[in-house]
Chains A and B, each alone.
Chain A
Amino acid sequence: MSHWPLLSLVTFVPLIGAAAILLARGDERIVATNARYIALWTSLFDFALSLLLWFYFDPDTADFQFVERADWVTLGGFQFTYHMGIDGISLFFVLLSTLLTLLSIVSAWEAIQFRVKEFMIAFLVLETLMVGIFCALDFVLFYMFFEGVLVPMFLIIGVWGGSNRIYSAFKFFLYTLLGSVLMLLAVIAVYFETGTTDIEVALTHVFPAGLQKWLWLAFFASFAVKVPMWPVHTWLPDAHVEAPTAGSVILAGILLKLGGYGIIRFSLPMFPIASSFFTPLIFTLSAIAVIYTSLVALAQIDMKKLIAYSSVAHMGFVTMGTFAVTSEAVQGAMIQMLSHGLVSGALFLCVGVLYDRLHTHEIMRFGGLIERMPAYAFVFMVFSLAAVGLPGTSGFVGEFLILLGTFKVSTIECTLAATALFLGPAYMLYLYRRVIFGTITRADLRGILDLSPREKMVFAPLLVLVLWMGLYPSSFLRPIQVSVDHLVRQVTAATDAAGLRRASLP
């Protein structure tokens, strides 16, 4: 298998599909149907390819695997390479990207009725860029994918979004662009420090402590916006509310993970001393994010906004666990991100189901759905419970590991974050009660239809994965573990060498 450029295939197959759709000509209705099918088969094929990655992945090494390397630009000591590879940290993100793209395309089958061709192209291009981000091992390549994502997402929100879509699209684009460009400068500074843009080299390079803090801040500016951390999270609720369902799924499922992935991939191993220095800051911001956004979520009247705020709270857990830098906490952060990718994606799909029928996501418009939509009520329940971390679902594993790992480092932080364990159920169950239970009072709800077979097909894999991850997390933890352990050892060694004691935090 090793002589096949599998990663490049996974990354660029969607582009081929997009090109095929671009060439489709003829009657608008036929083109739309063709575009849907091409997109479906492309993303299905791509998902199958990415499953091969998991199959052939060697979970016993922390090295990068499936590595591909080719010269790209070499000029006067200035070199970019086309360098791809994955390790335990990136493997599941690639899978998550291909899976969620596939499901989004299926979910948008009927929801998107105008400019279908362009929509499918945007999605396939987005898939290429997302997979590329997780596979890139060269900073310039990484940055190109990382910022390139903004373009299709901007168009998806702006063209197919809700009534206030233009404001949201701009806010999303400019917010994240501002973060990214600062990272670009840091990337250039890293080049001058290490003499290469190769990520593998940079990861093992020891940066001087003073420089670390500046670079850390520049990278953090980018990742904090993506995560998003309080107080730079305000673009997220807007973007989510206005984006079409499929766009929200990708936004919550993948784009939010870029921040967490970036922190685990770059900030920790490259700038361990700065990370340790800024840990109190992160802990404070994370605690605020968890508590504040949970409370804000309680007060929402729009379902999508509520889930968006809950995402911020969940990602607060991720940043906290990441910077606790214990093996459990970082693994927990990884699982939490994967779980959140599945669960929040599924919840947005749930909202999308209602939106397709009534064209609103206002909570007050619903109620008593259980009478008409039992299957939907069941699906919604499972994902709500997974979102609040009920044992047996994926959410529990992540939150538990994070709290466990953080407790070792800081008791206070752990206690503060644990408040989310009752705030989370409060807003999720409150939402669930208002939407599903009660009696049907509105006339238009009496005729509402339960899940169609197509929708069931979308939810089934997510349901299976959420329970699988909750009941038998080892299949996911095993490939992650070696890489994370390696990372944690590296960071601890660096901070120990600098004479910093991590346990000194309250």
Chain B
Amino acid sequence: MVLSAAAMALLILGVWRGEGSARLVSWLAIGVLILVFAIAELGGGDRRVGFYGMFVNDAFALFTKALVLIGSAVTILMGIRYNEDHGIARFEFPVLVLLATTGMMVMISANDLITLYVGLELQNLALYVVASFNRDSVRSSEAGLKYFVLGALSSGMLLYGASLIYGFAGTTAFDDLTRLLTGGAPVDTGILIGLVFVIVGLAFKVSAVPFHMWTPDVYEGAPTPVSAFFAVAPKLAALALFIRFMIAPFGPLIGEWRQVIIFLSIASMVLGAVAAIAQQNIKRLMAYSSIGHVGYALIGLAAGTADGVRGVLVYLAIYLFMTVGSWAVILCMRRRGRMLEGISDLAGLSQSQPGLALALAIFMFALSGVPPTAGFFAKFYVFFAAINAQLAGLAVIGVVTSVVSAFYYLRVVKVMYFDEPVGAFDRPITTELKGVVFVTAVITLFFFLFPGPIVAGAEAAASALFVR
């Protein structure tokens, strides 16, 4: 709530101050996000319901909100300089990010189909605009339009599914649905069909195969900080919503939806691994990589146990750091003021900028899941849950695709370390980016020393979903 009020306030401030206020608004927006973070965290993780049961706050919401807020704040931070350099430093950017984040908060805390939809749309509308934020660029506009058309379609599906569920169950509240479905009575086919439609809509939002088509194009077309934002915050929020929706009201139907999730998971992992091999553009590569990672996260959801949800949450937390770090490095890829996006542009980075190369190498090894980086633990926890839930076959496919995907992550390392340098990137790298890269790299590399806080938070969050 604070967030939306703050977004409005900043919007007014921005209009009032005019064009020159982008930097100020950005920093204020980051301040607001930190403030909200503090309020949310201080509020504690007890389960509380508000707005006539439509809005819920528990440890699960707390954990995922923290991730989303970090993701959004870092995006704004990374975007400041980029936008200034590209002449698109308008105060609307942080405001839109704030609005999208508000939508995500609502999604995460949704305890009713209506809130779910409202949150999702609030987020989406802001995102459509952000995607085409570089309004003079054809690619950026195309990305925004593509995202809008496909996004609207998926929202429609979701809405249709939600109305089917309402029609057959007679309620939109998650709590009532849970009560209805735990009874053990045979479930109406209408509810199942509605459920499938909602899954389709959500799968689009998390870009799981076969609803992933928009991802590479949008990531490539959108301004880089926006792509970074897309890769992290909305994805985390949508996955959080996905988990809450599947586990809380539809938990008793796990037998019905598990196969759908398993399919989504396998398809995402395989496509993410195979399609990325041929990519030359690092933004597209990251897009396919994110598709693959959604597949791994869904393994944990397919398990449908507290272990599984904990696995997903740990995965998401670690994914946040790995991905933000990688995107921050991509933002550093500029030569003579122009942004570069080809993987081959990274050639010889280990000699021209050893620090940056080391950081990106850490992220790449982490994304491919090589120990002792954090990425290994992320995968470890979801496979752990999968085997515990008798899904050994899924886990085997998971590890095999992770080897395939290791190939393209290694290719990035290879280009940086084995190829001859083609020239250094522009210096100096801004302090903000340097800070982001450094902090995320340290977290990714040394996660194994202090896994406690993240794993414990995920543990508490996961058990909150299963307590009734």
Residues of A within 8 A of B (CB): 73, 75-76, 115, 118, 140, 143-144, 147-148, 150-151, 154-155, 158-159, 165-166, 169-170, 173-174, 177-178, 181-182, 184-185, 188-189, 191-192
A144-B387 in contact (CB<8A)? no
Give the distance in Å from the alpha carbon of A300 to the alpha carbon of B125 in the complex.
66
For A185, list chain B residues within 8 Å (CB): 383, 387, 392, 395-396, 399
**CB within 8 Å for A174 and B387 given contacts A148-B372, A151-B370, A158-B414:** no
Give A155's nearest chain B residue, CB to CB: B417
For B387, list chain A residues within 8 Å (CB): 185, 188-189, 192
A selection of 27 A-B contacts at a CB cut-off of 8 Å is: A73-B452, A73-B455, A75-B452, A75-B456, A115-B351, A144-B371, A144-B372, A148-B371, A151-B365, A151-B370, A155-B417, A166-B414, A169-B414, A169-B418, A170-B407, A174-B406, A178-B403, A181-B402, A185-B387, A185-B392, A185-B395, A185-B396, A185-B399, A188-B383, A189-B387, A191-B384, A192-B388
B residues 435-466 touching A (CB-CB < 8 Å): 448, 451-452, 455-456, 459
For B448, list chain A residues within 8 Å (CB): 144
For B365, list chain A residues within 8 Å (CB): 151
B396-A177 in contact (CB<8A)? no
Nearest CB of chain B from residue A494's CB, rounded to whole Å: 24
For A140, list chain B residues within 8 Å (CB): 380
Give the distance in Å from the alpha carbon of A171 to the alpha carbon of B25 in the complex.
50
**CB within 8 Å for A184 and B383 given contacts A73-B451, A151-B365:** yes
For A170, list chain B residues within 8 Å (CB): 407, 410, 414
Give A157's nearest chain B residue, CB to CB: B418
A75-B417 in contact (CB<8A)? no
**CB within 8 Å for A177 and B406 given contacts A76-B459, A148-B371, A188-B384:** yes
For A177, list chain B residues within 8 Å (CB): 370, 403, 406
Nearest CB of chain B from residue A224's CB, rounded to whole Å: 16
Residues of B within 8 A of A (CB): 350-351, 365, 370-372, 376, 380, 383-384, 387-388, 392, 395-396, 399-400, 402-403, 406-407, 410, 413-414, 417-418, 448, 451-452, 455-456, 459
Give the distance in Å from the alpha carbon of A169 to the alpha carbon of B383 in the complex.
27
Find B370's partner among A150, A155, A159, A165 (CB 8 Å cutoff). A150
For A166, list chain B residues within 8 Å (CB): 414, 418
Nearest CB of chain A from residue B418's CB, rounded to whole Å: 5
Find A144's partner among B376, B407, B452 (CB 8 Å cutoff). B376
A75-B370 in contact (CB<8A)? no
**CB within 8 Å for A182 and B371 given contacts A73-B452, A170-B407, A189-B387:** no
Nearest CB of chain B from residue A122's CB, rounded to whole Å: 11
Nearest CB of chain A from residue B261's CB, rounded to whole Å: 20
Most buried by B among A118, A169, A185: A185
For B392, list chain A residues within 8 Å (CB): 185, 189
For B396, list chain A residues within 8 Å (CB): 182, 185
Give A147's nearest chain B residue, CB to CB: B371
New A-B pairs, 7, CB < 8 Å, besides A73-B451, A144-B376, A185-B396: A75-B455, A150-B370, A177-B403, A177-B406, A181-B400, A182-B399, A188-B384
**CB within 8 Å for A165 and B371 given contacts A76-B459, A185-B396, A188-B384:** no
A165-B418 in contact (CB<8A)? yes
For B455, list chain A residues within 8 Å (CB): 73, 75
A158-B407 in contact (CB<8A)? no
Nearest CB of chain A from residue B216's CB, rounded to whole Å: 24
Nearest CB of chain B from residue A28's CB, rounded to whole Å: 11
For A169, list chain B residues within 8 Å (CB): 414, 418
For A144, list chain B residues within 8 Å (CB): 371-372, 376, 448
A148-B370 in contact (CB<8A)? yes
B417-A159 in contact (CB<8A)? yes
B371-A143 in contact (CB<8A)? yes
Give A178's nearest chain B residue, CB to CB: B403
For B376, list chain A residues within 8 Å (CB): 144, 147
Give B455's nearest chain A residue, CB to CB: A75
**CB within 8 Å for A181 and B418 given contacts A73-B452, A147-B371:** no
For A143, list chain B residues within 8 Å (CB): 371
For A173, list chain B residues within 8 Å (CB): 406, 410
Give B450's nearest chain A residue, CB to CB: A73
Give B401's nearest chain A residue, CB to CB: A181
Give B419's nearest chain A residue, CB to CB: A166
Closest 9 CB pairs of A and B: A181-B399, A144-B371, A178-B403, A144-B372, A158-B418, A188-B387, A147-B371, A177-B403, A188-B384
Give the distance in Å from the alpha carbon of A185 to the alpha carbon of B402 in the complex.
13
Give B407's nearest chain A residue, CB to CB: A174
Give the distance in Å from the alpha carbon of A166 to the alpha carbon of B350 in the complex.
16
Nearest CB of chain B from residue A164's CB, rounded to whole Å: 12
Nearest CB of chain B from residue A70's CB, rounded to whole Å: 12
B459-A154 in contact (CB<8A)? no
Give the distance in Å from the alpha carbon of A148 to the alpha carbon of B371 in the complex.
5
Give the distance in Å from the alpha carbon of A177 to the alpha carbon of B383 in the complex.
16
B403-A181 in contact (CB<8A)? yes
Give the distance in Å from the alpha carbon of A76 to the alpha carbon of B463 in the complex.
11
Give A140's nearest chain B residue, CB to CB: B380
Give the distance in Å from the alpha carbon of A188 to the alpha carbon of B407 in the complex.
24
Nearest CB of chain A from residue B186's CB, rounded to whole Å: 33
Nearest CB of chain B from residue A274's CB, rounded to whole Å: 17
Give the distance in Å from the alpha carbon of A75 to the alpha carbon of B463 in the complex.
13
Most buried by A among B370, B376, B456: B370
Nearest CB of chain A from residue B277's CB, rounded to whole Å: 12
**CB within 8 Å for A75 and B459 given contacts A148-B370, A166-B418, A170-B414:** yes
Give the distance in Å from the alpha carbon of A268 to the alpha carbon of B337 in the complex.
61
Give the distance in Å from the alpha carbon of A173 to the alpha carbon of B384 in the complex.
24
Nearest CB of chain B from residue A130's CB, rounded to whole Å: 14
Give A161's nearest chain B residue, CB to CB: B418
B418-A174 in contact (CB<8A)? no
Nearest CB of chain A from residue B245's CB, rounded to whole Å: 24
Give the distance in Å from the alpha carbon of A506 to the alpha carbon of B383 in the complex.
41
Nearest CB of chain A from residue B117's CB, rounded to whole Å: 34
Nearest CB of chain A from residue B438's CB, rounded to whole Å: 15
For B403, list chain A residues within 8 Å (CB): 174, 177-178, 181
For A75, list chain B residues within 8 Å (CB): 452, 455-456, 459
B372-A158 in contact (CB<8A)? no
For B414, list chain A residues within 8 Å (CB): 158, 166, 169-170
Give the distance in Å from the alpha carbon of A4 to the alpha carbon of B372 in the complex.
26
Nearest CB of chain B from residue A75's CB, rounded to whole Å: 5
For B407, list chain A residues within 8 Å (CB): 170, 174
Give B368's nearest chain A residue, CB to CB: A177
Nearest CB of chain B from residue A18's CB, rounded to whole Å: 13
Most buried by B among A144, A166, A174, A181: A181
Give B354's nearest chain A residue, CB to CB: A118
Give the distance in Å from the alpha carbon of A166 to the alpha carbon of B407 in the complex.
12
For B351, list chain A residues within 8 Å (CB): 115
Nearest CB of chain A from residue B59's CB, rounded to whole Å: 14
A184-B380 in contact (CB<8A)? yes
Give A182's nearest chain B residue, CB to CB: B399
Give A173's nearest chain B residue, CB to CB: B410
Give the distance in Å from the alpha carbon of A321 to the alpha carbon of B213 in the complex.
54
Nearest CB of chain B from residue A23's CB, rounded to whole Å: 13
Nearest CB of chain B from residue A184's CB, rounded to whole Å: 7
For A154, list chain B residues within 8 Å (CB): 410, 413
Give the distance in Å from the alpha carbon of A181 to the alpha carbon of B350 in the complex.
28
Give the distance in Å from the alpha carbon of A174 to the alpha carbon of B406 in the complex.
7
Give the distance in Å from the alpha carbon of A73 to the alpha carbon of B396 in the complex.
25
Give the distance in Å from the alpha carbon of A166 to the alpha carbon of B347 in the complex.
14
Find A147's partner among B370, B410, B413 (CB 8 Å cutoff). B370
B418-A178 in contact (CB<8A)? no
Give the distance in Å from the alpha carbon of A419 to the alpha carbon of B160 in the complex.
74
Give the distance in Å from the alpha carbon of A143 to the alpha carbon of B400 in the complex.
17
Most buried by A among B365, B371, B418, B448: B371
For B451, list chain A residues within 8 Å (CB): 73
Give the distance in Å from the alpha carbon of A158 to the alpha carbon of B415 in the complex.
10
Nearest CB of chain B from residue A255's CB, rounded to whole Å: 16
